[in-house]
Chain A
Amino acid sequence: GESVGLHLPTLSVQEGDNSIINCAYSNSASDYFIWYKQESGKGPQFIIDIRSNMDKRQGQRVTVLLNKTVKHLSLQIAATQPGDSAVYFCAENHNNYGQNFVFGPGTRLSVLP
């Protein structure tokens, strides 16, 4: 289910280093996964997605890894920049949810100068 009652975990990373944000999902039948970035006071923005028939997908400076065996999803950000500071959410989607998405609790990424 949705982990909406948890306080956000925080990841602090030095500027220029790589960041890895992790997410555990709940439904082994979920077949579509999304990472969102949410800056303060704004709505979540789509970063990258992956379908369950893949285990890795790369975008610009971002890579998503999917491990279906342990129901784990990760987002890797290369050469982290100050503009990457935000809250990052994973979301899973499956027809069992009807038209819905189930969001993870989110991780706050802080980039240190």
Chain B
Amino acid sequence: SQTIHQWPATLVQPVGSPLSLECTVEGTSNPNLYWYRQAAGRGLQLLFYSIGIDQISSEVPQNLSASRPQDRQFILSSKKLLLSDSGFYLCAWSVQPGGGTEAFFGQGTRLTVV
């Protein structure tokens, strides 16, 4: 069966420090991968999605970047965190081709920038 792992579960980082959140998927190949951010009490905002290795699309301009060095690995990064980067970050995957299948979410990383 397929599983998605996301870590760390919680993270407290000072303003200006770098960030690296990692997500890996097991049990499937060539998945679509997604990074979402969720502010407290709000909906899901798509940050990045990827349809293959080194193929990343950014949905909103921001202080973050994403990379996909391997088929089932998706990394969210920042060189210098801002206070506004605080939030709940969710990684998700879905089956390709796109459309018509659900997305499966990881357990999320709660990031607090202080």
A residues 97-112 touching B (CB-CB < 8 Å): 97-101, 103-106
Interface size on B, residues (CB 8 A): 30
Chain A, 1-43, contact with B by CB distance < 8 Å: what is the 0/1 string?
0111111100000000000000000000001101010000111
B residues 21-79 touching A (CB-CB < 8 Å): 32, 34, 39, 41-46, 49, 51, 57, 59
Q: Is the CB of B42 within 8 A of A105?
A: yes
Q: Is the CB of A46 within 8 A of B102?
A: yes
What are the residues of chain B within 8 A of A34 when measuring CB–CB? 102-103
Find B99's partner among A4, A5, A31, A91 (CB 8 Å cutoff). Answer: A31
Which residues of A does B touch, CB under 8 Å?
Answer: 2-8, 31-32, 34, 36, 41-46, 49, 51, 89, 91, 93-95, 97-101, 103-106
